[in-house]
Structure 1
Amino acid sequence: MTPNLINYNGEILPADTKLLGISNRGFRYGDGLFESMRMMKGKLKFVDLHAERLQKGMRALHIDGYSQMDAYFLKEKAEELASRNKAKHARLRLTVYRDAEGLYTPTQNKNGYCLELQHVDEPRYFLNTKGLIMDMYTDMPKAINMLSNYKTCNSQLYVMAGLFKAQNRLDEAFILNQNGFLCETISANVFVLYQNHLYTPALSEGCIGGVMRQVVIDLAIANNVPMTEAQLDPEILNQADEVFITNATRGIQWVMGFGRKRYFNETSKLLMEALNRL
């Protein structure tokens, strides 16, 4: 089977091409960031939000060339790669790294990038038919700092939480911040419905500034669902009526259980229908 094609610094190559040298800073230090995106019917979804977060993250990391990586760049490169891969519906990952030598201190701040594509069969988001079973990962809280809201390549926390998930046969795991408050999950943002009010951890709590998080916040407001970004005590998970998680590739996924607690999924269904109408 012919491997998928990737875009490596503007060059279209087979995905199994050996590319990275031992001095690559993304490999050595996790010195970079990435965007996970969804394409439907040949069009990149929520491209303006992805471009805004990417550019803010590159500025925060002091990686040059962020002004060129705008919505037009993302659309052009994604559509070109999808065409070359004969894909209409896909998940894409753009990794941007600091293309420089040096030890901890880089010799320059030039950017390098790689855009990958994975085929998807369906042109819409689907709510999971079986709710997720989750637990709390507590061994490594997430630090709150100037990079907390971006998807950096330094992802050891999520790897360790992923091992916890696998060892305990879970579908996902909640992550707390350094102050012990609810932050996010391994791969998504968290929403909690409590007493007919929807809550999600505020960006000041250190969660990823998710593209789908913002889309769902806007959809909730548009559909008259009371919505607040807040500091959330994890105890709310034992009192909530509904919990769901969001990311750009899967949309909304409802949580069925946390410990002995079980949840409904009426609001997640409502918001998923609104999301697909977009």
Structure 2
Amino acid sequence: MINYNGSIVAETHISIHQNRAFLYGDAIFETLKVLDNKVLFLEDHYFRLMASLRIVRMEIPMNFTMEYMEEQVINLINAFSPAASFRARITFFRKEGGRYLPVTNDTEFIVTAEELDAPLYTLNTAPYEVELFKDYYVTKQLLSTLKSTNKMVQITGSIFAHENGYNNCLVINDDKNVVEALQGNLFMLTGSKLVTPPLSDGCLNGIMRKQILAIAAKVESIEVIEQSISPFDLQKADELFVTNVITGIQPITKYRKKEFGNATAAELLKRLNAKIRFS
């Protein structure tokens, strides 16, 4: 089942050969975690989506309030079999017409969903090795911080990781600084300093990134810093981990010959789950 512009349908019957999301990657999306019929971090997702639509000059439907967004997600989920947790995705795309220059900035949206196994976030302690992906770069610009359907760097990087036996890859920008992982934001702990790249380096403006920054700032033993990370810095780190709204926190266990612990990741994940349960 799919939610297409507010209607629950089995098929959208969208004409692919005329769809701008398919033809030009002219689409913005949000990936959401839903727990017990509640969209986690709803306000953050909503305002990031609204900001992204404005940045790419897409018209926002007048009725698309934050409450309406959550209602559309929950309506779709209720059409599935009962489950505690879901991964949902809402995608906005410009209506058909035009080539690079659209004939209209009016939009349509689709919501899709699938069940998740674990309701709360769990710490994956299995081996998780990463490598740098150096074939293509993320540019230092505002568009790089958005969740658009232009994801060729992430796609080719994921293929590279799969072909070479890595669990993930770290992406660099045109200054050769490490920006993020293929599927989430990067955090690096060195001593008591928890560092993540600034948005100005071109990393995704991640919802879970924002949550972890806020949670870590309340831990007295941690100094939170947003600054550029060089590949050389990774070798000196005590912990590396990746964040996104579906996984929560994924510890990196190995980068090249360096192995890492996960004590801080585990503590932050514990605090994250506590925030979710009592919010």
| TM-score under structure 2 length normalisation | 0.94
Matched with 1:107 is 103
**Corresponding position: 1:232 with 2:229:** yes
Given candidates 8, 12, 20, the residue that maps to 1:12 is: 8
Give the whole-Å Cα distance in 1 for the aligned partners of 2:167 and 2:266: 19
Shift in Å at residue 6 of structure 1?
1.1
2:141 paired with 1:145: yes
* Percent identity between the two aligned chains: 29
Question: 1:90 aligned to 2:95?
Answer: no
Q: List 4+ stretches of structure 1 deviating above 2 A.
A: 17-21, 66-71
CA contact (8 A) 1:59 1:66 kept: no
RMSD between aligned residues: 1.3
C-alpha contact (below 8 Å) 1:198/1:228 kept by paired residues: yes
CA–CA distance in 2 between the matches of 1:70 and 1:169? 43
Correspondence for 2:162: 166
C-alpha separation in 2, matches of 1:240 and 1:175:
17
List gaps (5 residues or longer) in structure 2.
none
> Equivalent residue for 2:195?
199
Alignment of 1:4-83 (within 5 A): 5-14=1-10, 18-65=13-60, 68-83=63-78
Structure-2 residue corresponding to 1:129:
125
How many Å apart are 1:82 and its aligned residue?
A: 1.1
Q: What amino acid sits opposite 1:227 in the alignment?
A: V
Asked whether the equivalents of residues 188 and 246 of structure 1 are also in contact (C-alpha less than 8 Å), the reply is yes
Q: Which amino acid aligns with 2:235?
A: N
2:172 is aligned to: 176
Q: How far, CA to CA, are the matches of 1:88 and 1:110 in structure 2?
A: 35
3-state DSSP class of the match of 2:253?
strand
Q: How many residue pairs were aligned?
A: 273
Structure 1 residue 143, shift from structure 2 partner: 1.0
Which range is displaced more, 125-134 or 69-78? 69-78
Residue 206 of structure 2 corresponds to 210
2:206 and 2:44 map into 1 onto residues whose CA distance is 9
Contact persistence 1:52–1:70 (CA under 8 A): no
Task: Structure 1: state its 5+ residue gaps.
Answer: none
Secondary structure of the structure 2 residue equivalent to 1:63: coil
8 Å contact from structure 1 (residues 58, 66) kept in 2: no
Distance change in 2, residues 1:138/1:62 (3 Å)? same
Q: State the alpha-carbon separation in 1 of the partners of residues 149 and 85 from structure 2.
A: 25
CA distance in 2, matches of 1:212, 1:68: 27
Distance 1:232 1:67, change over 3 A: farther
Question: Quick one: which amino acid aligns to residue 258 of structure 1?
Answer: Y
TM-score (norm 1): 0.95
Q: 1:69 to 1:208 in 2, by over 3 A?
A: farther
